[in-house]
A and B are shown apart, each in its own frame.
Chain A
Amino acid sequence: DTGVSQNPRHKITKRGQNVTFRCDPISEHNRLYWYRQTLGQGPEFLTYFQNEAQLEKSRLLSDRFSAERPKGSFSTLEIQRTEQGDSAMYLCASSPLGGRVETQYFGPGTRLLVL
């Protein structure tokens, strides 16, 4: 399967704990996006990388959230001191350099539940 992959697919944690999610984009896709989707809502943009550079961050991305893409390939999203409001599906998408913003391919998501 050469699509976008995300791990883990599910994560249950206790409030206050740190969690880290990983996204592996489609090979040779330079752009990588993170979104958050809560129940009954569409995905909301969090942040965007072009290669290893983080070019844009949403105001939704509080100080407790940090994303990295150290080698321009896979990316990690870390949430520190999780809160119950962080419970959501975290989606990753990738697109090729030069591709328009709408040509994003989404991964299956990581579903986070904070107890």
Chain B
Amino acid sequence: QKEVEQDPGPLSVPEGAIVSLNCTYSNSAFQYFMWYRQYSRKGPELLMYTYSSGNKEDGRFTAQVDKSSKYISLFIRDSQPSDSATYLCAMSTNMIIFGKGTRLHILP
């Protein structure tokens, strides 16, 4: 079992819809949980990070962590075509372990 599991997609949703992206993990030692956005042929860009279980909101983005279930989510409200990208979940102890990334397409 890989340390971080993420469905690669692709996930296609209409503009304006709520997007839900998820990851599961196996290592209880992970302390920080991150979401990165990566556009084609670009480096990853940190969107959000959180430390504890619960929700963290930043504009249209909400990150959710459930440590008891080893499950994290990213919700995107009012999705826009510019949100089309690959979304990588990542977790860290002393180094970052990335998921494979989910390719997201927002259809105009």
> Which residues of chain A have a CB within 8 Å of any CB of chain B?
4, 40-45, 48, 56, 91, 93, 100-109, 111
- The 8 Å CB contact of A42, one of B49, B88, B95, is B88
Give chain A's interface secondary structure class. loop
User: How distant is B57 from chain A, measured CB to nearest CB, in Å?
Assistant: 18
Residue on B nearest A45 in the bound complex, by CB: B95
**Residue B45 is within 8 A (CB to CB) of chain A in the complex:** yes
User: How distant is B3 from chain A, measured CB to nearest CB, in Å?
Assistant: 11
Q: B residues within 8 A CB of A42?
A: 4, 6, 88, 90, 98-101
Interface size grouping (class) on chain B: 20 to 34
Distance A111 CA – B40 CA, assembled complex (angstroms): 12
Distance A102 CA – B33 CA, assembled complex (angstroms): 8
Residue on A nearest B92 in the bound complex, by CB: A101
User: How distant is B33 from chain A, measured CB to nearest CB, in Å?
Assistant: 8
The answer to whether B100 touches A40 (Cβ under 8 A) is: yes
User: How distant is A38 from chain B, measured CB to nearest CB, in Å?
Assistant: 10
Q: What are 25 residue pairs bridging A and B, where the CB atoms are less than 8 Å apart in the complex?
A: A4-B43, A40-B8, A40-B101, A42-B4, A42-B6, A43-B44, A45-B95, A45-B96, A45-B97, A56-B95, A93-B43, A100-B32, A100-B92, A101-B95, A102-B46, A102-B90, A102-B92, A103-B46, A103-B49, A104-B46, A104-B96, A106-B43, A106-B45, A108-B41, A111-B41
**Residue B69 is within 8 A (CB to CB) of chain A in the complex:** no
Q: B residues within 8 A CB of A103?
A: 46, 49
User: How distant is A3 from chain B, measured CB to nearest CB, in Å?
Assistant: 9
Distance A41 CA – B88 CA, assembled complex (angstroms): 9
**Residue B60 is within 8 A (CB to CB) of chain A in the complex:** no
Residue on B nearest A101 in the bound complex, by CB: B92
